[in-house]
Amino acid sequence: MEKETSRVEAFSDGVFAIALTLLILGIKVPDLGNFGTSASLYKTLINLWPSYFAFILSFLAVLIMWINHHGFFKYLRKINTAFLFANGFLLLAVTFINYPTAVLARYFETPAFNIASAFYCGSMLLISVAYNLLWFSSAYKRRLVKDEISDELIIKIRNAYWFGFFIYLAAFIVSFFLPFAGLMICISLWVFWTLLDYDKKKFKN
């Protein structure tokens, strides 16, 4: 069973790596033709700051998702078909994030910023749903988790994922009215995921 979980984790790591790599494609090389000057290139590169911001934003988000996903497999003793489908749905959502990132960068300084922000936060909400499904498929009635993992830890992770869902939902709604605030709510949640320590009370007494 350990070999099976390793194969799934390796495949997932590859998808995460591709998703991280594709994010850079959202930053286009300025096309100034053969008559571009140093000043015009400099100005154009500076004006691309929304693309840099969106790239860094999504890179950090996907990186934190990967770290969380990597830690996820420490608790599994086996996998099943339901888990594979749930994991596939998560990977689908992760690879999709490149598109809302590009939309966010394109419309950051326009009147459509609120829709672009809501679209981005909505994508994060979808990923939160995927993580909840992944945890449910593995931890419900302790289907796939290791015997030594404590019930307290299972409940802690479940509550954290539910908390994340409602915060992302709030970010999605807020983004329609206060687009930058919606993004900041997402960022604050990523800080939460970074600081969350799952290893405390990991094992049964």
Position 78 in a domain: yes
Q: Which of 40-54, 61-75, 76-90, 187-201 has the lowest mean pLDDT?
A: 187-201
Condensed to tens digits (0 to 9), the pLDDT of residues 60-75 reads 999 999 998 988 888 9
Position 103 in a domain: yes
User: 132-146 burial by CB neighbour count: b if 16+ within 10 A, else e?
Assistant: bbbbebbbeeebbbe
Q: Which amino acid appears at position 47 of this protein?
A: N
Residue 177 belongs to domain spanning: 2-195
Task: Tell me, yes or no, if the pTM score tops 0.75.
Answer: yes
Q: Which amino acid appears at position 122 of this protein?
A: G
Instruction: With a cut of 50, say whether residue 46 has pLDDT above it.
Output: yes
- Averaged over 30-35, what is the pLDDT? 81
Position 55 in a domain: yes
Instruction: With a cut of 50, say whether residue 205 has pLDDT above it.
Output: no
Q: What Cα–Cα distance (Å) separates residue 150 from each residue in 106, 147, 161, 162?
A: 46, 8, 17, 19
> What letter does residue 196 receive in the DSSP assignment?
-
Question: Are 71 and 131 contacting, i.e. CB atoms less than 8 angstroms apart?
Answer: no
Per the prediction, the chain carries an average pLDDT of: 90
Position 24 in a domain: yes
> So what's the pLDDT on residue 63?
93
Number of structural domains in the chain = 1
Position 8 in a domain: yes
Condensed to tens digits (0 to 9), the pLDDT of residues 74-115 reads 899 999 999 999 999 999 999 999 999 999 999 999 999 999
For residue 97, give the nearest of 71, 49, 130, 136 by alpha carbon.
130
> So what's the pLDDT on residue 192?
80
Position 17 in a domain: yes
Position 201 in a domain: no
For residue 83, give the nearest of 199, 19, 1, 163 by alpha carbon.
1
Position 202 in a domain: no
- Angle between helix 81-96 and helix 2-22 axes, rounded to 10 deg: 10
Q: Which of 1-15, 46-60, 99-113, 149-163 has the lowest mean pLDDT?
A: 1-15
> So what's the pLDDT on residue 3?
58
Q: What is the largest CA-CA distance in the chain?
A: 72
- Token pair listed for 18: 């591709």
Which phi and psi (to 5°) does residue 203 adopt? -105, 155
